[in-house]
Structure 1
Amino acid sequence: MDKTRKIIEAYDKLAKDYEKNVDTMSGHNAYYERPAMMKNMPMDMNQLVVLDAGCAAGWYTEQFIKLGAQVTAVDLSPEMVEACKRRVGDKAQVFTCDLAEPLPFENETFDLIVSSLTLHYIDDWAPTFREFHRVMKPGGSLIFSVHHPFMDFKHFDRPDYFSHELLKEIWNKKDSGPVEVTFYRRPLQEIINVTAEQFIIECIIEPQPSIDFKDNPNASDWYKRWFDRLTTNPHFLIVKARK
């Protein structure tokens, strides 16, 4: 089966879980990746034109709208797009789009492009980053998160850190049941160098879990299981860059 088709099918199956469960039941999103990403974004987005590149069920899209942005949200999965539309209604433009293909936007459209845990599903980043550069206004910002290369290398016990390779994993979620997810692993130097070909890198963040939710009763099990590990072993990587 075509790799893109496999990703679409997997995330179409996962869409209900993302819509109903991720915000409250996935600590890696709610208490780890999202707080770290939001700390690196402008807190006032009035007048900003924002692209949510890989919007999933629309959590980030909703945050940007609340902060005053004019938002366009895209995702490869039609079911994720529908979930995002249910979340934000007509407050954003939301449609299916393949980030590996030319983007359907005019030059210098966006002030900010945000891509949360999406780019590791794309094999060749160079065309995607050229398109991000093309559709971004001068001085605009790019903020993205991906799997940390150290995590993938260690977790999957790979023999060659420097390989760029396709990995598979079974995710067993509450609504979808077991779903095979495929994504690409690449070394840190590839992540940095491909980004630097088009953008000026401002900072690299290896996030640690937010302590802001540690006393939340709904979060206690996740913190007991993951807090110590994620404060000593990076799981995600965030890159902030500008044009």
Structure 2
Amino acid sequence: MVSTPTEEIYSKLQKAFQKFNDQLFGGSLSNCVITLRANKRTAGYFYKNRFGSKGNDNLCHEIALNPEWFGVTENIDLYQTLVHEMAHQWQFEFGSPSRAGYHNEEWSKKMQSIGLMPSHNGKPGGKKTGQNMSDYVISGSFFEQSYNQLVAENCIVTWYDRIILSSNLAEPIKAKLEEEIKQIQIDGGNESKLKEKELIINALSKIEIIQMKPAGNNGDKNKKKYTCPGCDNNVWGKPNLNLICGDCLKKFELNDI
């Protein structure tokens, strides 16, 4: 019986991987390591032969999922991401991948055959190949049928990462959900969908946004330069440091030049 958050998350992800593998890929995909990795640029990725074993020479692929997205998107989006990356795994094992990150026609056709329509903007009419690709569910497809089975089996991941590394993620999603809820209420639509969107908005209220320092030298703007008046050695550090040179035992002076 699942009793911890770790077991709950990974057992459901593994069960979903196995069902999608059996029903969408004919059980052809090798086992992979499913990881949770926060990455502000993507909801997930496939990395070939990422893991090795100390006990033997075996290698194992990685499918990484970004838990920052779990709380701010619907359950079906998580499994769309999983299958999107499984299609990359299928192409590596049986097809001909293009350059890193590129979604070519072979990948696109495989996605369509299993029930996800590639689209560069996630909407009907979008480009079906490209560097950065999203997708949407084809109504009545194999993917939709498999997903509905997972829902019926309560194979839904409810845990999510509350700490988001970029403010660019939460606010647009919240605004979009609020508009969708209004439309569902106007149309008198699906109560279960309405409840799920309301749960996501509730999750958004619990999220903390962490602003990351820019990469490179931009993160060093608050550091000051200190120079030893005796030997001209330089060091950089935070303001108001009291430093003594180890070579000539003189006090470093703040250098604002």
TM norm structure 2: 0.25
For the pair shown, the structure with the greater C-alpha radius of gyration is 2
More strand by share: 1
TM norm structure 1: 0.25
